[in-house]
Amino acid sequence: MLSRVAGSLFWMARYSERTAANTHIIHTQFAQMLEESGLDTTYLEDWKVILNICGSSKEFFDTYDKLSVRNLSHYLLYSKENFNSLIHTISSIRENARMTRDIIPHALWEEWNELYLSLKDDPQSPIFSLLEINRFLEKINHTSLTSTGIINTLMSRDEGYHFLKIGRWIERAEKTMIILNELLQKKEHEIRKCTATYSLQLTQTLEDFSKKHRICNTDSVLNYLIKDTTCTHSLSYCIQHMKQSISVLEQNNNNCRLSPLLQELQAIQQAISSVDIATMSIEQQKICIGSFLTHCIMLGSVFSKVYYLDESFPTYEFQ
């Protein structure tokens, strides 16, 4: 497969996963506001966390004069200057899908193209409305879920499929570590919600965790999101499935050019096996998650270099 085509599939998958994750995170925050008072000021500390997970605080304050839900909504959903805004990531998905239309199922192209055109032809209302934003996010979420089903149901398990899967696992592992890193970095009084429960809500794993564990605290949640091999958003699960797809791509041949990638994967798996969250202090846990996040960011870069793919912009800035 041409590296240009592989790169488009890889980044289509990364943007798709980023879009789905950010949509869920933002929707979770807005849903909380709709269920309660809907007042800006009550939620601004929570929004600071969301801003760092889905965007960049520095970039935001360089553009907007104050932190408000209206400004945050524009930045995270509609801003063309924010490369991680939903409008921008959807446009990137559509462009990469266009470049690989002869590889992906036609239904997948149609799904993202239809969403892109509907958003392009539906200008943002000048009147700020939580209900309107909620409908906007639900439309994106529906497309994300439908697209996942199309890939799993209609796509052949060939090279293209595995480049899509690897892109998803790298992006998902990185996002999980970003969420944990941000929440651990905040002092307890800065976040109204319990850090452990909030982490599960933002990673869409609260229901699965509740079925497996009776006690929900920081230690149990960190251990779950790092080590649980059956949790589809855990670091361990993502790395394991990435290795499986690489093995299929290379047909189990140990090509020497893969050495940097395999070494990075091995380093992450060894770190996962040796980590003991229960014996760590809060500061040690912060260092541990920060280290895993650095590995995840490096993993995406190494994979791109090994397979001669174009590298995109940074997805996260350490605060």
Residue 276 per-residue DSSP state = -
Query: b/e per residue, 159-183, with b = 16+ CB within 10 A?
Result: bbbbbbbbbbbbbbbbbbbbbbbbb
Average pLDDT on 272-286 reads 94
Instruction: Determine the Cα–Cα distance for residues 213 and 312; give it in Å rounded to an integer.
Output: 38
pLDDT bin (cut points 50, 70, 90) of residue 189 is very low
State residue 3's pLDDT score: 86
Instruction: Determine the Cα–Cα distance for residues 275 and 226; give it in Å rounded to an integer.
Output: 9
Q: 């041409």: which residue's tokens?
A: 2
Percent of the chain whose predicted confidence (pLDDT) is above 70:
90
Q: State yes or no: pLDDT of 319 exceeds 70.
A: no
Q: Do 23 and 137 contact (CB within 8 A), yes or no?
A: yes
Instruction: Determine the Cα–Cα distance for residues 108 and 94; give it in Å rounded to an integer.
Output: 10
pLDDT tens for 68-95 read: 888 999 999 999 889 999 999 999 999 9
Structure tokens that stand for 162 in this block? 């595995």
Average pLDDT on 248-255 reads 80
State residue 93's pLDDT score: 97
Q: How many CA atoms lie within 13 A of 124 on its CB side?
A: 15
Structure tokens that stand for 292 in this block? 């895993």
pLDDT bin (cut points 50, 70, 90) of residue 147 is very high
Percent of the chain whose predicted confidence (pLDDT) is above 90:
70
User: Can you list the positions of beta strands (E) in the chain?
Assistant: none
Q: 């980044």: which residue's tokens?
A: 11
Average pLDDT on 139-152 reads 97
pLDDT tens for 4-19 read: 999 999 999 999 999 9
pLDDT bin (cut points 50, 70, 90) of residue 130 is confident
Q: State yes or no: pLDDT of 128 exceeds 80.
A: no
